[in-house]
Structure 1
Amino acid sequence: MGEEAKPSGWDAIDQELSKIYGEQEPKHYGTLISYSLGGQDPLDGISAYKSETPVPHWHFVTYGFSELYEKESEDDECSGFGFELTLRLTRNDDEEEPPAWALNLLQNMGRYVFNSGNVFKPGDYLDANGPICLGEDTLLTALAFTLDPELPPLDTPNGQVEFIQMVGITRDELEAMQTWNTLGLLREGVAQIPGYVTDLSRDSLLQVPAIMEAVEQGMEQEGSNTGFLYVDQLAWEPGKKGWFSKRPDTVKLGAKQAEIVGKLLRGRILKGKSLVLAGQEIRIVFEPGEQPGCSAEDDEISIALNEAAVAELSQSLVPKAGAIELTALPGLAIQIVQTHIKDQEGNVVETIG
């Protein structure tokens, strides 16, 4: 029998948490069958601590995005994916067990990262397409990611680990983060969301006039920080240039994301920055250019836009199915197609457009 692997990465995380919580024994939820052996849950475990500051809440910390046992990856500076997730969730006085939906949410994040290879960084956001807690009457339908305010980056025997905190956000906050920037909005809202503790019952930060004003100023002065947007419904149909049958090149875009793409084009192109839309089979790169035009190469389309083209496009991109031909960019059409929002069972719960 080989010697059992020492949990050196795990121990390093525990030691960091003991600096905050002392002797407190967290509620710990381990995984019965490891993911590598065909289990459902990719994370080895999740701990939930009771925290009293700045408000009573559960402080969840994951174990499994970083290398918890021996070093396996070739990158010496980074442990595994280089982070663990945390989540802070409001807690009632009489609550002795953390809610199961929060554990499921963190395991779902694990599935997303392990299956896609996409990692989370401070400043990222993710649309949950519905309440982050299913069946709960909450406005929080998306997540933002920032550094955990109490857990600094940690050097472990397997490399560095950052603690990245998920924060539940509303649909209009998500849009403000897309059209300006995530960390800017969180910074402006920290008085309303102390410690970035997720509170399912809260209203949108944009109800506060000073925060709304800061977002509008940020968009105006800095433009958007979002240079890359993943779009579920994105397709390209080359046109026809024949004598008898002419058809423009067509970008097909889902109604759900049409409006935000229009706003992002204003916040990027007008500030001299490009915007990449990435679909499952195609990438469309919008770039600032004196002369509007487009060129296609394999699975990447480049579209140059001047101010007139941006103005026309951002007005035309509304969540309503239909085709739009652009006067500022002859030969290019945009077709908005309906978006069907589905629940976890695959049933359509909302149709947009």
Structure 2
Amino acid sequence: MSANAELDALRNLFQEKDFSSPWLERTRLCQIITNVEQDLERDHAFLHQHAAFIFEVSEKLENQTRNTIELFRQFTLGGACPSLTALCLFAMERFGVRDDVLRRLVLVASVMGEVENDMKYHSNMHYRKVLFQLIRMVAVYNDIYEGTSRVLDQRRIAILLATACIHDFAHDGKGNTIKGVYIPHRLEQNSYDLVEPVFKAAGFTNKDDLNMIRVMLLCTDVTPFKDPGNAVNQAKTAYRYHFLGGRTHWEALNLDKELGILETSPTASVMALMMHEADIATSAGLHYDITKYETGLLMEEISDGIARPENVINFLNDICNRQMLSEVGQQLFAANLARIYALAEDDFRAGNHPYPPLEKSSFVLGGMPPVVQGSKTIN
């Protein structure tokens, strides 16, 4: 079945079903599909010309990073950013995702991810960046583990792609603390509650797979900050338990019940950690000038719009723990993160002055300094 035929089938689904949410209004979704179809040939050509490098895993890290930075600049300024759907089709073609149900899952998630969200940071552009970073990570991960039982098969890849598309669906910019009270996973659970009926209507009904999507969404919740028991830190604990010598013969992890699969399934812990690291990678793992730009977007969303070096330092300490934990996260982002932290510290000591407005940022204007040379791990 052609991509257009697959999208036409989704249009029929949305015309026939009422999902009782303004975010999933049928006319809106059908128009998104029409827009995606109109640009699909253009987007396909653009990605094959400018983004094929992400599957060339033997390419030097500095070239991968530089190409990603330039591509994100084109996404931001070019006025013709490829749709999430085009990115997903591009990835599924390269990763060999051919199963009809899995493809419907990914495509319906990509269409929902195109529903306009005008938050400054948690916008549709953020979804694209996270999806792109995740595709990079899957390509490198499967290269590392080719020929082993740890390689990600088409089902797991499809679940990852779909989750990236909707990981901040319907985000309202308010975080998970309302009126001073922390509401566990408020945003993440809301995203899942909205998309689950759509996934089921599209034929994706396996309870374990749906639960995996929910768990990955919950593990993008980094609040309360510095709390070792928050969802993302439980995911990191599970990863250490399975892969970094954290397992003992005497003690279980006793994770939150809703995250229990992370303790029993090593693969689930990998997928949850990869989703989190893809979520933070653009802000933490490419280049200081992009970090400043992304921080400016976030501060415009949540406060007065003034971003300073201390905001970057707090982010890298409180959310990132100053490291990427997974092997693939280390390979792609660890050296960049270490350099970003050092530069933010330098700027903090030099007076903690506000960064330039977004339109005058080095990322927007171009001409950023060279990226870190070589493939390094820092952790």
TM-score, normalised to structure 1's length? 0.34
Q: Which has the larger radius of gyration?
A: 1
The structure whose residues are more often helix, as a share, is 2
Of structures 1 and 2, the one scoring higher in RCO (CA 8 A, sep 6+) is: 2
TM-score using structure 2 length: 0.32
